Amino acid sequence: MQKRAIITGITGQDGAYLAQLLLEKGYVVYGTYRRTSSVNFWRLEELGVSDHPLLHLVEYDLTDLGSTITLLQEAQPGEIYNLAAQSFVGVSFNQPTTTAQITALGALNLLEAIRLVNPRIRFYQASTSEMFGKVQAIPQVEDTPFYPRSPYGVAKLYAHWMTINYRESYDIFGCSGILFNHESPLRGREFVTRKITDSVAKIKLGKLDVLELGNLDAKRDWGFAKEYVEGMWRMLQVAEPDTYVLATNRTETVRDFVKLAFKGAGIAVDFKGSAESEIAVDTATGKTVMRVNPKFYRPAEVELLIGDPAKAKAKLGWAPATTLEQLCQMMVEADLRRNTVGFSF
């Protein structure tokens, strides 16, 4: 029988890559998007899947339990991938209640709907390394103690434990993927890597003078999103539901990523000063091309993340392949192309 899946958050980075993967595998995909005044399918269009005959785009909001139940009744999926969330950590400090309603209770709505409509549906919850927050061990693995540092991290931790609770209480096939940061040319421009590559492209093309950033010392474990959605799919294909870390096991600072991105555009930079007065200077022209602006600092920061994906490798056969250098280069080149033709997403 043809496989059927629901992807919540299909308009986001991971939703687009996962839709492409499942459509290639012959799934019927129900992808949910929110009603907005202007449609937001640019990622699906970039991947060339927006008009795919097996793709059904369904208007849906995660916070509405009634429409969650209707969605499951109508789509009759075998698998659900819950990728929808208020996913920006910075905004979660300004909108903690909305973040909880979408990111925490939204996942519960799906679990409840599965319990009521069809408890055999397999469920993937998009958990996050942000749950480790103020890290209690290095590297972080599946049973490292959690210590979230943002309303987003706390909301995701609720959804993570609810997934485990429904697995243990109702025998629901609920998997939680604790994914470390993953990026791509489809990353939203508010996240630091894409903000950097898009700004570097604009600086290279003379469309922007200076890139402004917050904390340059934060260390992240950055992988390639297209590889991470393959890991999500694998989690739902094995015999037993479980929790898995997906990560690269390499960590670098935001400053390192800035340097890599400028290098990718053929600009060598030197960093000068420190903390709030740190800048990066183009060594060829002497111009300041990056400066710190404290408005991008967060009230509480996650300083260091590095994950060990050994369990995913052993049980799922999953391993990352793209290096940070390759990933950054891919993103810089995509943003150079887009900014040359005036693309602005």
**154 exposure class (CB count in 10 Å sphere: 0-12, 13-18, 19+):** buried
Q: Is 192 in the site for ligand GDR (CB under 6 A)?
A: yes
Q: From the list 126, 172, 211, 330, which residue makes contact with ligand NDP (rule: CB under 6 A)?
A: 126
Contact between residue 70 and residue 110 where contact means Cβ atoms under 8 Å apart = no
Give just the sign of the alpha carbon dihedral 237, 243, 249, 253: positive
The verdict on whether 128 is a catalytic residue reads: yes
Contact by Cβ (8 Å): 225, 186: yes
90 is a site residue for ligand GDR (CB under 6 A): yes
Q: How many other CB atoms are there within 10 angstroms of residue 127's CB atom? A: 25
The stretch near ligand GDR (CB under 6 A) out of 37-45, 109-117, 184-192, 199-207 is: 184-192
Q: Which of 12, 139, 174, 231 binds ligand NDP (CB under 6 A)?
A: 12
**Residue 333 annotated to the active site:** no
C-alpha distances (whole Å) from 63 to each of 67, 68, 110, 253 are 9, 8, 9, 35
What's the token pair of residue 289?
């091309």
From the candidates 17, 60, 103, 130, which is the catalytic residue? 130
Between 130 and 308, name the residue whose CB sits nearer to ligand GDR. 130
Euclidean distance between CA atoms 305 and 322, whole angstroms? 18
Which residues ranging from 148 to 207 are in contact with ligand NDP (CB under 6 A)? 179, 181-182, 188
The DSSP-derived string for 260-274 is HHHHHTT--EEEES-
Site for ligand NDP in 42-71 (CB under 6 A): 61-63
The verdict on 142 binding ligand NDP (CB under 6 A) reads no
Interface pick for ligand NDP out of 3, 25, 39, 40 (rule CB under 6 A): 40
Strand, coil or helix: what is 277? helix
Task: Kindly list the distances between the CA atom of residue 339 and the CA atoms of 40, 184, 224, 249, in Å, as whole numbers in the listed order.
Answer: 19, 16, 22, 32
Residue of 152, 166, 228, 244 with catalytic role: 152
Residue 214: contacted member of ligand NDP, ligand GDR, none (CB under 5 to 8 Å, by partner type): ligand GDR
Helical axes 105-117 vs 151-170, angle rounded to 10°: 20
Q: Which residues, 93 to 122, sit near ligand GDR by CB under 6 A?
A: none
CA distances 115 to 67, 119, 122, 243, 266, Å, are 15, 5, 11, 20, 54
Based on the shown chain and the rule CB under 6 A, indicate whether residue 328 belongs to the binding site for ligand GDR. no
CA atoms within 13 A on the CB side of 126: 26
Binding partner at 278 among ligand NDP, ligand GDR, none, C-beta below 5 to 8 Å by kind: none
Q: Does residue number 214 form part of the binding site for ligand GDR (CB under 6 A)?
A: yes
Stretch that binds ligand GDR, among 3-11, 31-39, 75-83, 124-132 (CB under 6 A): 124-132
Q: Which residues contact 342 (CB under 8 A, 6 or more apart)?
A: none
Place of tokens 């604009």: 202
Indicate whether 336 belongs to the interface with ligand GDR (CB under 6 A): no
Reported in sequence order, the residue ranges of 221-325 that DSSP labels E, i.e. its strands, are 223-224, 243-246, 252-253, 269-272, 279-282, 288-292
Using the rule CB under 6 A, which residue among 213, 235, 260, 265 binds ligand GDR? 213
Indicate whether 220 belongs to the interface with ligand GDR (CB under 6 A).
Answer: yes
Name the residue with the smallest CB distance to ligand NDP.
12
Residue 63 or 118 having the CB closest to ligand NDP: 63
Hey, what are 58's tokens?
Answer: 């369904």
Q: Which does 13 bind (CB under 5 to 8 A by kind): ligand NDP, ligand GDR, none?
A: ligand NDP
- By CB under 6 A, is residue 39 in contact with ligand NDP? no
Tell me the site size for ligand NDP, rule CB under 6 A.
26
The residues in 21-80 that bind ligand GDR, with binding defined as CB under 6 A, are none
Residue numbers annotated as active site: 128, 130, 152
**Contact set with ligand GDR (CB under 6 A):** 87, 89-90, 128-130, 180-181, 190-192, 195, 213-215, 218, 220, 254, 296, 298, 301-302
